[in-house]
Amino acid sequence: MSPPGRPKGEFRSAQHGGTPVSNPASGTEPRRVPCPTCRRPAVFSPDNPWRPFCSERCRGVDLGAWANESYRVEVAPVREDDDTLPDAPPDPQRT
């Protein structure tokens, strides 16, 4: 449901920089989202072969950043002597 004062099928969100975004369910123009690389509007529909990117170039730039390990997911360092699993109980058949 659209907030009062906005046309039906249109909403704004912080994720989209406050720009109007069409609702695909309303049958109007395709939804546009900011390209993750250059932040320009990109059509988010099956008609865009580079979705969610705006172009093949932006898709390639993002792939290159992943390949160069520019994006990383931080995890806690693992110690070699850290055994977080409990010791297994003795197996009665092996004794």
What tens-digit pLDDT sequence spans the chain (95 residues)? 444 444 444 444 444 444 444 455 556 788 999 999 999 999 999 999 999 999 999 999 999 999 998 988 888 887 776 566 666 677 777 65
pLDDT of residue 49: 92
pLDDT of residue 3: 44
Sign of the CA dihedral 36, 37, 41, 43? negative
pLDDT of residue 77: 80
